[in-house]
Each structure stands twice: as structure tokens, then as C-alpha cells.
Amino acid sequence: MKHSWKITLMLLSLFLITQLFGLVVINKYMVKRVVKINTPHGVSYSTNVSWHTNAITGEPPKVNENWSFISVFIAILLSTVLVFILVKFKAGNIWNMWYMLAVFLAMSVSLSAFMNVKLALAVSGLLVFLKVKSRNAYFHNLTEPLVYAGISVFLVPLFNMFSISALLILISIYDYVAVFKSKHMVSLAKFQLSSSRFMGLAIPKSGSNLSKISSRVSKHCKVKSNKSDIAILGGGDITFPLIFAGVMLKYFPLWKVLLVPILASISLLLLFTHSQKGKFYPAMPSITVGCLLGYLIALLI
């Protein structure tokens, strides 16, 4: 087993809470209307989905939902290359600014679902300041749901069930290659940890100060090092199943959509219990199986 039961249950609880909170935020932005259609064979009904907008989110871009996964996947690859360039040239300051801006915008989107935009921006600015300044693991993890919910609000309108399923499969293949073959995903995670600017859940196995852990990680940044003072779950491993569930929410009632976070959590549990200490594992293949299984069951019931 990769982590102790205490750490494992903490990670799974935070993962599930983030999924549920994210669905609440997405649902706040989503407007579903049943449209009556008169046809030669009688009356039929379809669901029309639109989105609340504000000064932060703007109007969702007009895209071909069937093929949107291609452009999003390319964007993910390009952003990975950009981060590698920052690592290569040790441009930690640029990464810090990028991280803070992304977190600020995502938090603002989440909070503006519950308050006016100006107040959401002010609260987000304060949270980002405290998040960066304190470097406290508990505060970091408790504010992470705001980040992934906000990111999902931007991305859910781009997909239908075909394209989001295709994206999860592509990401799973990429995750497997990036962890087991090229191992660059491990390097990226260690770079983020060493800078105390980690996109994901991070639970120290002792203490609560991320800066102390980052100083230890920075001394062991080679991929071959198996030293682990912290249990992590990457931001992508949290965001992609939330986007998948958010897209499902466009077509299914909430009680069916809840199958996705539940089965994704079970898949993560199986991964943690069957993995070994000191080794890195791609989480997306397991999470994708849980998501697709939840979708299949929702179709059948």
C-alpha cells in the first residue's frame, strides 16, 4: 500500500469533496431548459443548456463539441512544454506568477457563483495571498476545491460526452507514458513541490509546512529518488473527472452524475491499495475507468 490508511482516506475524502463542490459550482452556472418540439410523429422534448456569465467567465467560446478534445489536448501538451522550459532555465519566479494568476482567476470564478464579482475578486486575492504566504498544507488543501471548480466552469461548455470521453482516454495514455516511460511528469511534480506552488492535493506525512517539505524535495529532485515526505494527487487527476461529471450534468440528472465521483474515488482507492511505497503511479487510467463505468451505469439505469 502506497500510503497509510490515514493518509489514503484523507486524500480520497479531499478528492470526493472537491468533486461534489465542483458539481455544485458548475450547476450554479448551468441553465437547463426543456424545449418542446412539434414533429410529424408527435411532440418530443429536448434539453437546452446555456450558461450564466459574468465579467470573469465571459461567453463560452463557440466550438465544435465533437472535436474540442483535440485542441484541449494540444493545449495541455504545449503548457507542459512551457513548464519544462521554466524548469530548464530555473525560472521559478515566472512559474510563481503563472501559478498565482491561474489560482486567482479560478477561485474568482468559483466564488462568483455565490457572491457578486467584485467581492469574489477581493476574497480570491486574499485567499491567494494567504495560500502563498503561509505555505500551510491544511490551508492549501482546503482552498484547492475552489481552484478546480473554477477551471471546470471554463471547460465544461466545450465538450459533449463523446469528446470528454475521448479526452480522458488520451490523457490516461499520456499520463501512463509520462510517469512510466519518459518520467517527465514526476520531474514536473517535484519541481512544483520544490517551489511550494503545487497544483494538486499535498498531504505531508509529518508537520504541515509546505516550505519545509519543499526544501527537502529540492534536494532530491532527480527522478530516481524515491524519498517521499508527502502524499500528492495532481491537479489534473482532480480536474478531469470533475469536467467529465460536469459534462454529464448537461445530459443526466444529478443523482446519476454522482455515480462518476463515487466510482472514480473507488478506482483511486484500488490504485492506492495496490501500489507500492516510494513509487510513482499514473492516476488517470484508474480514474478514467471509474468515470466511464459511471457513465455506462447511468445509461443503463
3-state secondary structure 83-142: HHHHHHCCCHHHHHHHHHHHHHHHHHHHHCCCCCHHHHHHHHHHHHHHHHHHCEHHHHHH
Query: Which residue type occupies 37?
Result: I
- pLDDT tens column, 210-239: 555 544 444 443 433 344 578 889 899 999
- Please state, in angstroms and rounded to a whole number, the distance separating the CA atoms of residues 247 and 164: 8
In angstroms and rounded to an integer, the radius of gyration of the C-alpha atoms of the chain is 20
Nearby residues of 209 by Cβ (< 8 Å), 6 or more positions away: 135, 136, 137
Q: Specify whether the CB–CB gap between 192 and 199 falls below 8 A.
A: yes
Identify the three-state secondary structure at position 202: strand
Query: What does the pLDDT look like over 47-85, one tens digit per residue?
Result: 788 899 998 988 988 899 999 999 999 999 998 888 888
pTM of the model: 0.89
Cβ pair 234, 286 in contact under 8 A:
no
- 3-state per-residue secondary structure call for 9-64: HHHHHHHHHHHHHHHHHHHHHEEEEEEEEEECCEEEEEEEEEECCCCCCCCCCCCC
C-alpha cell recorded at residue 110: 468559483
Cα–Cα distance measured from residue 48 to residue 35, given in angstroms and rounded to the nearest whole number: 7
Q: Classify strands 200-204 and 42-51 as parallel, antiparallel or unpaired.
A: unpaired
The confidence score (pLDDT) of residue 218 equals: 41
In degrees and rounded to multiples of 5, residue 30 shows phi and psi of: -90, 135
Per-residue pLDDT of the chain in tens (301 residues, 90 and over written 9): 778 888 899 999 999 999 999 999 999 999 988 776 666 666 656 678 889 999 898 898 889 999 999 999 999 999 888 888 877 777 677 878 888 999 999 999 999 999 999 999 999 999 999 988 887 888 889 999 999 999 999 999 999 999 999 999 999 999 999 888 877 777 777 777 666 677 888 888 765 565 555 444 444 434 333 445 788 898 999 999 999 999 999 999 999 999 999 999 999 999 999 887 877 788 999 999 999 999 999 999 9
Q: From CA 146, how far away is CA 157, in angstroms rounded?
A: 18
**For residues 188 and 80, is the Cβ–Cβ distance under 8 A?**
yes
Of 206, 198, 180, the C-alpha closest to 238 is 198
